[in-house]
Amino acid sequence: MLPYSLIHEAADRLKKRVRRTELIHSHHFSERLGIPVHFKCENLQRTGSFKIRGALNFMLAQPREKLTRGVITASAGNHAQGVAFSADLLGVRATVFMPESTPPQKVQATREYGADVVLAGKNFDEAYAAAIQTQKESGALFVHPFDDHLVMAGQGTIGLEILEELPDVGTILVPIGGGGLIAGIATAVKETHPRVRIVGVESKAAPSMHYSVKRGKILEAPLTVTLADGIAVKKVGKNTFPIVRELVDEVVLVDEEEIALAIVALLERTKLLVEGAGAVTLAALLNGKAGKPAGKTVCVLSGGNIDVKTIATVVERGLLAAGRYLKLKVILDDIPGSLAGLATDIAATRANISLITHERRSKDLPLGKTEVLLELETRGYEHIEEVIDHLRRGYEVDVVK
Task: Let me know: does 208 contact 175? Beta carbons within 8 Å.
Answer: no
Q: Distances from the Cα of 97 to the Cαs of 146, 186, 276, in angstroms?
A: 15, 29, 21
- Residue 327 known to be catalytic: no
Torsion angle, alpha carbons of 175, 177, 179, 185, to 10: -20
**Cβ neighbours of 389 (radius 10 Å):** 11
**CA–CA distance, 261 with 280 (Å, rounded to integer):** 10
**Cβ neighbours of 350 (radius 10 Å):** 11
Q: What are the φ/ψ torsions at residue 319 (nearest 5 degrees)?
A: -65, -40
- Residue 302 known to be catalytic: yes
- Point out the catalytic residue in the list 40, 51, 106, 190: 51
**Cβ neighbours of 393 (radius 10 Å):** 8
Catalytic residue annotation: 51, 302
